[in-house]
Amino acid sequence: MENKIVKYDSVEVSEPLMPATPPRRDRVVVEVPGGSNAGKIQGIIDTMVKRGTARPLIHLSAGTYPIDRTLVVPDGSDLQLCGDGPATILHWTGNEDGNVLRVVQQQRAEL
């Protein structure tokens, strides 16, 4: 293949086609208030599981959340628990040997 020098005006360039917007998934999104404690977060998890809400998204916005007892995601739930990357901090404030999160025999939950 050889290099070829041409005038700028003779080159036809078009913008690449962008992929289509992904389909909107209608599902429940629960915003956890910033700074909520373990009791509040666990209450939201339990409420979504009891309601049988399909694929609920529980969002922990940027901030620090004091966790003094283990958060438990029950077996059979298909919730998604997400934060804003390293700006969302689950800070353990309970006993020295505690766990922040326990996922019970999950097959569908996402963290």
Residue 2 located in a structural domain: no
- Tell me which of 21 and 28 has the higher pLDDT: 28
Which residues span the domain enclosing 98? 25-103
In the chain, how many domains are there? Answer: 1
Residue 75 located in a structural domain: yes
Residue 106, pLDDT score: 66
pTM over 0.85: no
- Tell me which of 52 and 60 has the higher pLDDT: 60
Residue 71 located in a structural domain: yes
Residue 110 located in a structural domain: no
Residue 15 located in a structural domain: no
Residue 107, pLDDT score: 65
Residue 7 located in a structural domain: no
Question: How far are the Cα atoms of 39, 42, 62, 64, 76 from residue 32, in angstroms, in the given order?
Answer: 12, 10, 10, 12, 22
Three-class SS state of 8? helix
